[in-house]
Amino acid sequence: MEKINKKIASNHFIRLLSDSSYLSFSLSVFLSQIAANTLTIVLIFLIFHITSSNFSVSILLFSILIPQIFISFLGGIMADIYNKKTIIIAGNVLRALALLIIFFNYKNTLVIYSTAFLISSITQFYVPAESSLIPTLVKREMLVAANSIFGVSFFGSILIGYVFAGPAITIFGRANVFLLLAGIFIIAALCAIFIQTKKIKNFAEKIMSPSYVKKSISQEFKESFLLLKKNGKVKDAFFLLIFSQIIIFILATLIPGYAKNILQIPAEDVSVILFAPAAIGMVIAAFLLGSILNKYPKRRLMSIGIFISGAVLMLFPATSKLVARELIEIINSFLPMLFAVNIFNLVFILALFAGLANALIFVPSQAIIQETIPHNFTSKIYGLLFSLIGIFSIPPIMIAGGVADAVGVGAVLLWIGLSIIVIGLLREKILQPLVSIFFIK
């Protein structure tokens, strides 16, 4: 019995979940991410419902990404200066209030774009504080387990958020769903109140001067780049986090068109058919990374994730053609109707692997950054990360939306998948020299 108790006490997952402060943090993140992920999909469905255009969805994502470029690094600096707990609470409350604007103007695309911009601006202060709070709550040796739990919460919230979006619109209506999401943000803020963290030293007197703020931002930006230059592993992880988020944004642009033109279903139904298996794959991968695969080389896991992502995206447009193959029809003739191979079975399997692949990139990359970067720099590094995600996401998102309207979603998905595989091959052989050139020594 004593041995069992010792084993339980030494289990990082159990120790973390028995920590009331970390548990409060995880619940707050979980609820906040549910609201945020549901909101993104609800807005995408709403814009596509109003306009029936992939390019209009691109404009929505453009509105969301612009604040990342100009505000997220500043948000990272503020998260390192001020109390992260306060920022998390305020971020949830302010986003809840902003949703009331859309509630009263849910048919106005200009108001939707503007409010999406406002909510994204608030989020740029919230996310760096949330992401960088983990190292202050747990010991270094528990970071992988903590990030796995964070990953499970993060991806589990995607599962609930993305799957919940379609049914939520159906049940509550296109306007009332925003009141529901505002309520979830408020509950997340209440959970964050119970996070017990040491107060970050307040430098309010120093930043009262606008000239000091300008100088500080410039210095912090240079120092963050210098920090990235010194460590190849961090550069690689940094690149892959940017890369994976760009792919997610591009797919978000194309999903409504994929549902309408290839699956031939309403966009809202994609929540269950496509998002659910993808998020399940993410949760499964997060569990595996925190247990069975926690000793496996992180770089190798990330490479596997890249190649699976590329292969899956190349297969997505071919699902209808695969089902129509004579071999599949012969197989189906021997199977009960319940087990017959159809386009939705194939999409489910592909989406499951897509989610698993994304987690294989995200979790190890985040762990590498948090293990390597000093605690007083983590918020700034995440701020820089989100800025670069915004900068590099906008061109492909705008192009993908416009091209998809012109040549079809299937062709765009095929080219994206092929590009991912090519990037994976380059990374395995020559990416490190290219990154070294980019961050000039």
Instruction: Write out the DSSP string of 181-245.
Output: HHHHHHHHHHHHTT---PPPPP-TTGGGSHHHHHHHHHHHHHHHHHHHHT-HHHHHHHHHHHHHH
Collapsing DSSP to helix, strand or coil, 335 comes out as coil
Segment of 75-89, 95-109, 327-341 carrying the highest mean pLDDT: 95-109
Average pLDDT on 19-31 reads 79
pLDDT of residue 216: 55
What span, in angstroms and rounded, lies between the C-alpha atoms of 398 and 58? 5
Mean pLDDT of the chain: 75
What span, in angstroms and rounded, lies between the C-alpha atoms of 142 and 350? 32
Res. 247: pLDDT tops 90: no
Average pLDDT on 311-327 reads 67
pLDDT of residue 200: 36
What span, in angstroms and rounded, lies between the C-alpha atoms of 348 and 354? 10
| For the chain, domain boundaries | 19-195+207-438
**Spatial contact of 420 and 315, defined as CB atoms under 8 Å apart:** no
What span, in angstroms and rounded, lies between the C-alpha atoms of 191 and 111? 30
Res. 60: pLDDT tops 80: yes
Residue with tokens 């980019």: 438
Average pLDDT on 417-428 reads 78
pLDDT of residue 2: 47
H, E, C per residue of 301-365: HHHHHHHHHHHHHHHHHHHHHHHCCHHHHHHHHCCCHHHCCCHHHHHHHHHHHHHHHHHHHHHHH
Res. 300: pLDDT tops 90: no
Return the H-helix or E-strand segment holding 431: helix 431-438
Segment of 123-127, 359-363, 399-403 carrying the highest mean pLDDT: 123-127
Tens digit of each residue's pLDDT (9 = 90 or more) over 358-399:
888 877 887 777 777 766 666 667 767 777 777 877 777 777
pLDDT of residue 16: 65
What span, in angstroms and rounded, lies between the C-alpha atoms of 113 and 257? 20
pLDDT of residue 9: 45
Tens digit of each residue's pLDDT (9 = 90 or more) over 41-50:
899 989 988 9
Q: Binning pLDDT at 50, 70 and 90, where does residue 326 land?
A: low
What are the phi and psi torsion angles at 336 (to 5°)? -60, 155
Between the CA of residue 118 and those of 64, 157, 392, what are the distances in Å?
8, 22, 21
Res. 29: pLDDT tops 60: yes
Res. 343: pLDDT tops 90: no
Between the CA of residue 122 and those of 6, 113, 391, what are the distances in Å?
44, 15, 18
Q: Binning pLDDT at 50, 70 and 90, where does residue 335 land?
A: low
Q: Binning pLDDT at 50, 70 and 90, where does residue 101 land?
A: very high
Average pLDDT on 10-28 reads 68
Tens digit of each residue's pLDDT (9 = 90 or more) over 190-236:
988 887 755 333 333 443 444 444 445 566 666 666 766 666 677 77
Report the half-sphere exposure of 12 (CA within 13 A, side-chain side).
Answer: 16
Here the tokens at position 230 are 């010194």
- Which carries the bigger pLDDT value, residue 327 or residue 112? 112
pLDDT of residue 210: 47
**Spatial contact of 314 and 414, defined as CB atoms under 8 Å apart:** yes
Res. 342: pLDDT tops 50: yes
pLDDT of residue 111: 94
CATH number of this structure's domain 19-195+207-438, picked from the four choices 1.10.3720.10, 1.20.1250.20, 2.40.30.10, 1.10.1200.10: 1.20.1250.20
pLDDT of residue 338: 55
What span, in angstroms and rounded, lies between the C-alpha atoms of 318 and 214? 51
Average pLDDT on 99-120 reads 93
Collapsing DSSP to helix, strand or coil, 264 comes out as coil
Orientation angle between helical segments 54-70 and 232-258, nearest 10 degrees: 150
